[in-house]
Amino acid sequence: GELGHTLSKCPNECWACGELYHKSDDCPNRCWTCDEVGHYAKDCPNECDACGDIGHSTVDCPDACWTCGELGHLARDCEDECFVCGRLGHDTQKCKGKCHKCGKIGHWKRDC
C-alpha cells in the first residue's frame, strides 16, 4: 500500500480498470452494453447479437420484435399469437385479457 492513510481510509482499486477511488460497479470506464472496460456504451465497437449493428445491446435492439424476439418486424406486426387470447400484435404480458365467462376480449371474468 501507500503511506499517508489508515487502513479504514485506504482507497479501493477498481478490479475492472485498475484505477483508485471507485468500485467496479461504478467504473466510469465500463461499457454498459458489452460490460467491457475501456469505452462507453455510445462508442461500443461490439455488434448486437440480434441485428449486427453497433452501438446497442441485443436487449435494446430497435429492430427486434418484443413478442417473438425475431428481426424484421415490430411487435404490433408480429404473426405469433398471444398465448392468452390468441390474437396478434402483442405478447402475453400486454394482453388485455379474454373473459372465460362471455368469451369476449378486453376484460377478465371477474370484471364481466
**Considering the domain boundaries, does residue 61 fall inside one?**
no
Q: Is residue 18 part of a domain?
A: yes
Q: Give how many domains the chain has, as a whole number.
A: 1
Whether residue 71 lies inside any domain: the answer is no
State which residues form the domain around 7.
Answer: 1-27
Residue 1 is assigned to a structural domain of this protein: yes
Taking residue 31's Cβ as centre, other Cβ atoms within 10 Å add up to 19
For residue 5, is it within any domain?
yes
Distances (CA, A) of 3 to 11, 16, 40, 85: 11, 24, 33, 68
Q: What is the pLDDT along the chain (112 residues), one digit of tens a residue?
A: 567 777 677 777 877 677 787 777 777 777 877 888 778 777 889 888 778 888 777 777 877 887 787 888 777 788 888 877 888 777 777 788 888 899 888 888 888 9
The pTM (predicted TM-score) of the whole model is: 0.37
Q: Using an 8 Å Cβ cutoff, are 99 and 107 in contact? A: yes
Residue 8 placed within a domain: yes
Three cell numbers written together for 44:
461500443
